[in-house]
Amino acid sequence: MSSKTKNMDGIHIASFEETIKSVVSDGSSLTRFGDGEFSLMLNGEFLLQRERSLHFQRADVKLKNRLREILTRESYDNLNIKVAIPNGFIVDNRTLLTETAARFWNDFLQENGYKIYNILDKNYIYSDASITRFYMDYCDKSNRTISNKVKNLRLIWENTDVLFVEGKGSKLGLNNNLFDNVKSINRILCPNSDAFDKYEEIFEATKKFGRDKLILIALGPTATVLAYDLAVCGFRAIDLGHIDIEYEWFKMGADNKISISGKVAMEAVDPLPNDIFDLDDTDDYQLEVLQTID
């Protein structure tokens, strides 16, 4: 074992089912840290240059400091928010993952694990950040297993008025039934890369339109900070990450991360031209858009 490697023994992460159950029963917010957020927080500029898939957000000192501030907060007792980290941090969990996904987490932790371990709270039970990546990385892609995961996820927004804060081209729920159990949908459209450059504008717009709504965010590392800041202000906000794309891949029975017609899929192995996302959408979708931030 490398001197830099640190086993995640002593770190507690709730299961997929436990995470969903607690978010639903507590009516809590959820902020998620994935490999991108940890890379940006831990001086990840060099990693970002090597990994094209992480180019959704340039390295930013202010973002780095905000991510560290949130993750190293002494207590969340006064906030109805749960902090989530990837279940792949735990060795036993990687046995459920595909060879590619398991290798990714092995390599990522080989390089970064010792730094991450030293800043995580050994007394806190983290939620599972991978609830929004419920399909592609798992060996078990059976319809029964994934359908049950989706059924549980849909409990989070069931019968609620929803405000999506999403990158342009994300189009959460468009042309699928993932969110067809909500009361209503409105949207704020944001830049689909380097969104943190517009953070204050996004934050103010979300507060303006998010009152009495469940705020669902798909906006890269910006979502991690935004969900936390909104919770501090008394809103309920959940960082949903790649959930819509995962659902599309599930519906297609995809075995790898392929592009989705009309939607941004940052990790696709066959990315579509940028102008494909500027195509006209349905009138209903356009009516849902309350503000566009360029």
Write down the residue that tokens 């507690």 correspond to: 12
Predicted confidence at residue 1, as pLDDT, reads 34
Predicted confidence at residue 48, as pLDDT, reads 46
- How many C-beta atoms lie closer than 10 Å to residue 272's C-beta? 16
Residue 29's DSSP bridge partners are 81
Write down the residue that tokens 């990158």 correspond to: 167
Over the chain (294 residues), what is each successive 10-residue block's mean pLDDT?
Answer: 56 96 97 93 57 59 92 84 96 95 94 91 95 97 98 98 95 95 98 92 98 96 97 97 95 93 81 56 86 96
- What residue ranges do the domains of the chain occupy? 12-292
Specify the DSSP class assigned to residue 171: -
Going by C-alpha positions, the residue among 250, 252, 200, 253 that lies closest to residue 229 is: 200
In terms of phi and psi (left: phi > 0; alpha: psi -120 to 50; beta: otherwise), the region of 113 is: alpha
Predicted confidence at residue 47, as pLDDT, reads 46
Predicted confidence at residue 6, as pLDDT, reads 53
pTM of the full predicted structure? 0.92
Buried b (16+ CB within 10 A) or exposed e, 199-211: beebbebbeebbe
